[in-house]
Amino acid sequence: MWEDKVRKVVPYTPGEQPRINNLIKLNTNENPYPPAPAVRERLKDLKYGDLRLYPDPNCRLLVDALSGYHKVKPSQVFVGVGSDDVLSVAFLTFFNGDVPILFPDITYSFYDVWADLYHIPYEIMPLKADFSIDKNDYLKENGGIVIANPNAPTGLELDVSVIEEIVSKNKDSVVIVDEAYVDFGGTTILPLIDKYENLLVVRTFSKSRNMAGLRIGYAIGSEKLIKYMSDVKFSINSYTMNMPSLELGKLSVEDDEYFKTTCAKVIDTRERTKKALKELNFSFPDSRTNFIFAKYDGPVSRDDIAAELRKRNILVRCFNGERIKDYMRISIGTDEEMRVVIEALKEVLR
Ligand SMILES: *Cc1c(COP(=O)(O)O)cnc(C)c1O
């Protein structure tokens, strides 16, 4: 009867990572460009002998780089093994009440998984028909709020002034703003971090910093929020960040020019892809991210299109929620990759 005592969960399903040659991989919003050049240089002279030592449990190298970059105190920065780790620690730390936390029905599909895992009550707030948030949904009593901005998988951005209103009218709970995609032309709420003690902003190196393989994420908030998260982290695992992540993450932060250039390239390609998709009779919410959440307004089903793309070694992501079962999420690759995708779509829809 030991199984009665097992903590049973329905896990999150990550996008697949198949090993196929010449794959155009547009299913997990990775960046098509490599990490900053300094990262490659440093990789060459990372000392294997140093791996004998535990890494710095306080992650100073990376925390200091991020604190300098965002002009906040080091005590306002929390780093983790991807933003999934950071968000998980934040859920565990801040959502410990009996009143449900709130998040939208169509959003990052990990939020309900953590809530279930940690036995956090939650209430799902349906987005409006155009996939935008109704701010009034977030002005009632709650145990906390999570908003991805821009949202995934819709790509839509909510105006920062609306988020500020939600934060300012919820002083009794923590509001987490997941800014995984903000670097692709969105507006950050970070400048308000010192104004609201209950605001936590979460970021990742996986998309805009081209380093999904290293697993680096971080949060910025008031010193109090970060201290509470740090206490929880040190109660689970002191050494979350490995030595290469600390060293290489810092170098990525230091090369702002490369960062801005590659983000601009992705944005540029995205805008061109929007035009091409429109011409092919696709519709989509106006993306401020490195993906487009597209629906074909014609006689071919989403699943048939995705299957045909796959035959041509092009991978996109399909979700099966009732309201989004006709949409596919297409990550933005290089110009050349997107040209191939558009050609393939023309062929499939002919
Ligand atoms: C990709 C993504 C994450 C997780 O990113 P990692 O840092 O790779 O764990 C978190 N939130 C949203 C909205 C994402 O799209």
Instruction: List average pLDDT for each run of 10 residues in the chain, which is 350 residues long.
Output: 95 91 95 96 90 96 98 98 98 98 97 97 98 97 98 98 98 98 98 98 98 98 98 98 97 98 98 98 98 97 97 96 96 98 96
Look at residues 227, 255, 283 and tell me which one is the last residue of a structural domain.
255
Ligand 1 and 212: CB distance under 6 A = yes
Ligand 1 and 150: CB distance under 6 A = no
Residue to probe by mutation, ligand 1, list 204, 214, 241, most atoms within 8 Å of CB = 204
Residues 97 and 10 in one domain: no
**Where does 11-62 show beta strands of DSSP type E?**
24-26
Q: How much is the pLDDT for 47?
A: 87
Q: How much is the pLDDT for 51?
A: 92
Q: If you measure from the C-alpha of residue 252 to the centroid of ligand 1, how many angstroms do you get, rounded to a whole number?
A: 18
Residues 152 and 101 in one domain: yes
Ligand 1 and 108: CB distance under 6 A = yes
Cα–Cα distance between 176 and 140 in angstroms, integer? 16
CA angle 246, 247, 249 (to 5 degrees): 65
Please check whether residue 220 lies inside any domain of the structure: yes
Residues 240 and 302 in one domain: no
CB within 8 Å of 212: residues ≥ 6 apart: 28, 30, 31, 82, 205, 206
Q: How much is the pLDDT for 37?
A: 96
Q: Which residue has the tokens 């821009």?
A: 150
Residues 188 and 161 in one domain: yes
Cα–Cα distance between 163 and 160 in angstroms, integer? 5
Please check whether residue 44 lies inside any domain of the structure: no
Can you give the residue range of the structural domain that contains 305? 2-34+257-349
Q: If you measure from the C-alpha of residue 202 to the centroid of ligand 1, how many angstroms do you get, rounded to a whole number?
A: 9
Residues 13 and 69 in one domain: no
Residues 263 and 246 in one domain: no
Q: If you measure from the C-alpha of residue 80 to the centroid of ligand 1, how many angstroms do you get, rounded to a whole number?
A: 12
Residue 41's DSSP bridge partners are none
Instruction: Read off the pTM.
Output: 0.97
Residues 213 and 270 in one domain: no
Q: How much is the pLDDT for 39?
A: 95
Q: How much is the pLDDT for 48?
A: 87
Return the ligand 1 atom nearest residue 87 CA. 10
Residues 176 and 188 in one domain: yes
Query: How many domains is the chain partitioned into structurally?
Result: 2
Kindly state the tokens that stand for 342.
């558009």
Residue 220's DSSP bridge partners are 77, 201
Residues 314 and 231 in one domain: no
Q: Packing angle between helix 243-254 and helix 256-279, nearest 10 degrees? A: 80
Ligand 1 and 83: CB distance under 6 A = yes
Please check whether residue 45 lies inside any domain of the structure: no
Q: Which residue has the tokens 């599909």?
A: 109
